[in-house]
Amino acid sequence: ALQNATRLSFDVETTSTDAMQAQLVGLGVAWAVGQAAYIPVAHTKGKQLPWEQVRTALAPFFADPALLKMAHNGKYDLTVCRRHGLPIAGPIHDTLTIAWLLDPASHSLGLKALALQELGMEMTEISELIGSGRKQITIDQAPLDATGAYCADDVDATLQLYDVLWPRLQASGMAAIYTDIELPLLEVLTDMEMAGIRLDTDFLAGMSTELADRLVELEAKLFELVGHEFNQRSTQQLSQVLFDELGFPTNRIKKTSSGRYSTAVSELEKLANADLSDEQQEVIGIIMEQRQLEKLRGTYVDALPSLVNPETGRVHTSFNQTGAVTGRMSSNSPNLQNIPIRTELGRQIRRAFVAKPGWLLLSADYSQVELRILAHVAKEQALIDAFNADLDIHAATAARLFGIDLADVQSAQRGLAKTINFATIYGVSAFGLSSRTEMDPKQAQQFLDQYFETYPAIQDYIGDTLQFAREQGYVQTLLGRKRFFPELMNERLPYNQRQAVERAAINAPIQGTAADIMKMAMEQLHQRLQTAGLQARMLLQVHDELVLEIPPEEQETVVPLICDTMESAYKLNVPLKVDVEIGKNWYEMVDA
């Protein structure tokens, strides 16, 4: 049946949701609507075909670039097939990505939900086959006929979804975002995930011990200050100690459902900024440090080693291409975006990510990419000139705001200018600015007014963007990626909700363009490294940064190649600038 097929949708059934450890149990293919087959290769019962025979028979079809291939969440299927010796020639169309582009805020992008919503198909849930909770089995133990029907439905639904969603994407004007940016990225991310990164587990074990010792020390200090021992894990006891015994101020502190004052992190932060006695200041400082250390230890230091793949000895993060409404990616197992970099101790976690023996890690980071995009989209000449002159942008802003020479700008003035530069990208109000600085809302408003006098085109950009969003119900990036805000067309939207949505609408074109540029740079870099026959390879992408692993002898070739690729990924009215650092681990790096 595949001999005359012009397209093929495929889906693997496996023993695990981790694509790097999953064992292939069977493969489903559909070549036309209503025409699908399931090929069992590793069920515990029933007639099977040897995988080697199946692989040999399917290989020519999967290797044919002219055959249109599609899957739902194709990166998973591609990884499993590659690991089992079945390479697939791209491009691989992904109905998940198409559905996400059409509705980036949707929480119903799973195949079953989409099939019901778009095709009216009620499909079997996986839990009906393998159960859930303690009684859950793996799919190789499920009845073969039921698994076959389940998988055949999946590939058939994928084909039908493609037929419904692809014309809709073309009509939306976003086909180019898909074919030029998202479609080629799937194979780049698959390569990155399969490469993984080495982890120094000995370093983490040492760090865990140090944190444990410090936590014991802090607890003893806290009990000494309070005058007795108590169970800090009990929010009730902690609340009693802070508010009843030590007399912490309770104004602006929320109450829990049981009527006690809350000890959530957000409330403790309010206390830390309140007018406190020296003793109270010390107590709250200890509790905040304890919480920070416990989170670091639980989420990263002790958890990361368990993510090392026993076969490869490396950690294989899963990158989520459809991770954020803005177009940016997210990652999990581990979530790289959340590795703390604001504190010295948090930054130390990066030390555990290391190059393989004899190699180096290279970090390439876009410098102030969102501010550069803001200068371009707002056509703000003063900002454009500052970037083109390669000035320190925050110092240049401070000089204009305070009416002084660039050489006379103090670090506090630069800090304030930096806060407001970034606040603008996120559409922050005077109240929002006052909470990030030591200004009261009135001063913050005066400062904002002054900022917009300094950079009038930015205020125009904000006004124009909001007007467009209210009239059209969406905003878009420079490359045409859309983010929808239908609620802005509703004039009855409550004020506080409207403010939050408007902030997102101001930021979406800027953050979304940064995401588009990063994705294009990744694709071009992937291509250029391969074409040049270099061993260097991309491993991680986090925020505006790419991390690669390179052999030292390639450094002189790779560094200029990366800078050129990333800086020329998209042409703005200001230069894109990339900072490159290199080192044996992700923490101790020097300029390359």
pLDDT tens digit string along 258-278? 889 999 888 888 888 788 899
Residue 110 to residue 96: CA distance in whole angstroms:
7
Task: Select 371-511's CATH number: 1.10.1200.10, 2.40.50.100, 3.40.50.2300, 1.10.150.20.
Answer: 1.10.150.20
In this prediction, residues 456-473 reach a mean pLDDT of: 96
Among the ranges given (124-133, 266-275, 438-447, 503-512), the one the predictor scored with the smallest mean pLDDT: 266-275
Q: Mean pLDDT throughout 333-345?
A: 88
Whether pLDDT at 1 is above 80: no
Percent share of the chain, pLDDT over 90: 86
Q: Picking from 234-248, 257-271, 373-387, 531-545, which range would have the lowest pLDDT averaged per residue?
A: 257-271
Judge contact between 555 and 566, C-beta under 8 A. no
**Is 371-511 in the same CATH topology as 2-195?**
no
- Mean pLDDT of the region 343-361: 95
Domains of the chain, residue spans: 2-195, 201-305, 317-369+515-591, 371-511
Percentage of the chain with pLDDT > 70? 100
Residue carrying the six token digits 């079809």: 61
Output 592 or 404, whichever has higher pLDDT: 404
Instruction: Write the class of the CATH domain 201-305.
Output: mainly alpha
Q: What is the pLDDT at residue 342?
A: 84
What confidence tens digit (pLDDT) does each residue in 279-325 have? Answer: 999 999 999 999 999 999 999 999 999 999 999 999 999 999 998 99
Q: What is the CB neighbour count within 10 angstroms for residue 220?
A: 11
Average of per-residue pLDDT across 574-588: 98
Q: Give the Cα separation of 344 and 365 in Å (integer).
A: 19
Q: What is the pLDDT of residues 214-246, one digit of tens each?
A: 999 999 999 999 999 999 889 899 999 999 999
Pairing of the two strands 474-476 and 360-366: unpaired
Residue 425 clears pLDDT 90, i.e. is over it? no
Contact 4, 17 (CB under 8 A): no
pLDDT recorded at residue 267: 87
Instruction: Kindly list the distances between the CA atom of residue 282 and the CA atoms of 207, 234, 244, 254, 288, in Å, as whole numbers in the listed order.
Output: 25, 20, 17, 22, 10
Cis amide leading into 104 (omega within 30): no
Q: Is the pLDDT of residue 401 over 80?
A: yes
Residue 257 has pLDDT above 90, yes or no: no
Class of domain 2-195: alpha beta
HEC readout, 282-305:
HHHHHHHHHHHHHHHHHHHHCCHH
Regarding the domain delimited by 317-369+515-591, which CATH topology (the fold level of the hierarchy) does it fall under?
Alpha-Beta Plaits (3.30.70)
Give the CA distances from residue 238 to residues 56, 131, 264, 297, in Å, rounded to whole numbers and listed in that order. Answer: 65, 41, 11, 21
In this predicted structure, which of 130-134, 193-197, 365-369, 529-533 has the lowest mean pLDDT? 130-134
